[in-house]
């Protein structure tokens, strides 16, 4: 668009086609400033899908090594669909939000069943796959098929909240924000536009200290013009996280094996393995707690010995302190009373099982003890 054309589109110094100008400004910025990310440059929906799921609530830097390992292990939808869920969880181990891995596995099987292994390109079909909501569907369809489907992730919420100087927390204005994202989306270049929005949020319009000086939308941004860019978006009222103290047992038999259990398939850390234990009740000692929990969960009697380690860990909606003790199996046959499965394993075999982060710290402490001897 030449200078003459631009001037014909303006009135009293204000561009009539302000939205078109805004789109072009962002795309021009992106052409120079875009991040070089492993899942960009291809339009194969499978790797784009994997990246979108891994990037949910997870930073790019964290995702990249997992992304490469995943595609090496499961290079196609078919290899993912036919893989064992425990193997899928093992590759996902450490990324968190494990329902994402379980849903990827399930969705891959649905794509084989319902679409002959071809990733669908209809919005309603994509939204019907487990683990894919509006934002992820928009990310996949715009990046893989250049379809004009908007997105509203954390980056876009923050950008839009500042753009219109939103006076309420974004969660209270999701409908309005979706409408904004849709109305801004470039109908000619939706894939590039959505990527550009996310890069703008990740590199310029950051949560703290936004770099407004280099922002292509500076003149469009109401928060900037009001001098309150860094004060927005408004935050939700937060309640302090509850804190639980947990007694944990590393139960040894007389063959140098440890008893581990697999958590129920759904819910917190579903399908992952752990060391058994439970919450310390008021006025209960750690040893009494561990003995009681092991009796309730596994139906056996144990002796509680030395402390292995104490682990502090923060989950998304509570935090825990795990007080871990060596224990010795005294009597009874272990039963899976409150879990899906139990096993005796050696310290060498234990890497074959997916464990949550707090438990891998325990394994590390056990390894250090054996190395010292």
Partner DNA sequence: CACCCGTGGGT
Partner DNA sequence: TACCCAAGGGT
The binding site for Mg(2+) consists of: 277, 297
CB of 308 to DNA, least distance (A): 18
Q: What part of residues 163-182 is at the interface with DNA (CB under 7 A)? A: 171, 174
Question: Residue 342's beta-bridge partner residues?
Answer: 261
Distance CA(134)–CA(123), nearest Å, equals: 9
Give the annotated binding-site residues for 8-oxo-dGTP.
263, 274-277, 359
Distance CA(211)–CA(218), nearest Å, equals: 10
Site for DNA contains 126 (CB under 7 A): no
- Interface pick for DNA out of 111, 160, 308, 358 (rule CB under 7 A): 358
Contact yes or no for 47/59 (Cβ under 8 A): no
Question: Residue 341's beta-bridge partner residues?
Answer: 262
Site for DNA contains 21 (CB under 7 A): no
Catalytic residue among 24, 52, 182, 296: 52
For the record, the structure tokens of 361 come out as 């710290």
CB of 122 to DNA, least distance (A): 16
Site for DNA contains 66 (CB under 7 A): no
Q: Tell me the window of 6-14, 134-142, 288-296, 343-351 that interacts with DNA (CB under 7 A).
A: 134-142
Using the structure block, give the residue that is written with the tokens 């899908």: 49
- Interface pick for DNA out of 201, 216, 276, 278 (rule CB under 7 A): 201
Which C-beta is closer to DNA: that of 67 or that of 74? 67
For the record, the structure tokens of 308 come out as 């292995």
Percentages of the chain per state (helix, strand, coil), in multiples of 5 = 50, 15, 35
Distance CA(350)–CA(38), nearest Å, equals: 32
Q: Of all helices (H) and strands (E), which one includes residue 314?
A: strand 301-314
Q: Site mask, DNA, residues 249-288, x = CB under 7 A?
A: ------------------xxxx------------------
CA angle 260, 262, 264 (to 5 degrees): 150
Distance CA(128)–CA(106), nearest Å, equals: 12
CB of 231 to DNA, least distance (A): 10
* Prior bond of 218 cis (ω within 30°): no
- Interface pick for DNA out of 103, 218, 222, 257 (rule CB under 7 A): 103
Distances (CA, A) of 16 to 12, 19, 20, 117, 179: 9, 8, 9, 47, 20
Site for DNA contains 331 (CB under 7 A): no
Catalytic site residue 52? Answer: yes
Q: Site mask, DNA, residues 181-200, x = CB under 7 A?
A: --------------x--xx-
- Interface pick for DNA out of 30, 39, 70, 74 (rule CB under 7 A): 39
Q: Tell me the window of 21-29, 206-214, 302-310, 340-348 that interacts with DNA (CB under 7 A).
A: 206-214
How many CB atoms within 10 Å of residue 125?
A: 16
Which C-beta is closer to DNA: that of 35 or that of 279? 35
Rounded to the nearest 10°, the torsion over CA 89, 90, 91, 92 is 50
- Interface pick for DNA out of 202, 212, 287, 342 (rule CB under 7 A): 202
Q: Site mask, DNA, residues 285-304, x = CB under 7 A?
A: --------------------
- Interface pick for DNA out of 4, 5, 7, 59 (rule CB under 7 A): 59
Contact yes or no for 101/92 (Cβ under 8 A): yes
For the record, the structure tokens of 204 come out as 């310029």
Catalytic machinery residues? 52
Contact footprint for DNA (CB under 7 A): 35, 37, 39-40, 51-52, 55-62, 94-99, 103, 130-137, 139, 153-155, 158, 171, 174, 195, 198-199, 201-202, 207-209, 235, 238, 240-241, 267-270, 313-317, 356-358
């Amino acid at each position: 668009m030449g200078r003459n054309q631009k001037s014909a589109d303006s009135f009293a110094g204000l561009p009539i086609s302000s939205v078109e100008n805004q789109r072009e400004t962002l795309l021009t910025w992106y052409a120079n400033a875009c991040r070089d990310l492993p899942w960009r440059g291809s339009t194969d929906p499978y790797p784009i899908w994997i990246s979108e799921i891994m990037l949910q609530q997870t930073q790019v830097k964290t995702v990249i090594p997992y992304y490469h390992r995943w595609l090496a292990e499961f290079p196609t939808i078919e290899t993912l669909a036919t893989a064992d869920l425990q193997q899928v969880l093992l590759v996902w181990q450490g990324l968190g939000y494990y329902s994402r891995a379980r849903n990827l596995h399930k969705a891959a099987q649905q794509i084989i069943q319902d679409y002959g292994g071809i990733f669908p390109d209809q919005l309603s079909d994509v939204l019907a796959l487990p683990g894919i909501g509006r934002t992820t569907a928009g990310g996949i369809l715009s990046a893989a098929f250049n379809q004009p489907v908007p997105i509203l992730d954390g980056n876009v919420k923050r950008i839009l909240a500042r753009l219109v100087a939103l006076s309420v927390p974004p969660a209270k204005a999701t409908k309005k924000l979706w409408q904004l994202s849709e109305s801004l989306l470039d109908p000619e270049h939706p894939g590039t536009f959505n990527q550009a929005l996310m890069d703008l949020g990740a590199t310029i319009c950051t949560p703290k200290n936004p770099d407004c000086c280099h922002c292509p939308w500076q003149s469009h941004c109401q928060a900037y013009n009001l001098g309150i860019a860094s004060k927005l978006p408004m935050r939700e009222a937060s309640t302090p996280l509850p804190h639980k103290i947990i007694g944990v047992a590393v139960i040894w038999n007389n063959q140098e094996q440890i008893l581990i259990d697999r958590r129920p398939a759904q819910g917190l850390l579903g399908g992952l393995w752990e060391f058994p234990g439970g919450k310390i009740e008021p006025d209960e000692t750690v040893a009494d707690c561990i003995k009681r929990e092991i009796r309730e969960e596994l139906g056996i009697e144990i002796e509680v010995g030395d402390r292995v380690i104490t682990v502090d860990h923060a989950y998304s909606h509570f935090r825990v302190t795990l007080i871990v003790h060596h224990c010795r199996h005294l009597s009874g046959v272990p039963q899976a009373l409150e879990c899906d499965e139990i096993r005796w394993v050696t310290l060498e075999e234990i890497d074959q099982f997916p464990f949550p982060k707090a438990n891998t710290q325990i394994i590390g402490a056990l390894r250090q003890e054996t190395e010292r001897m």
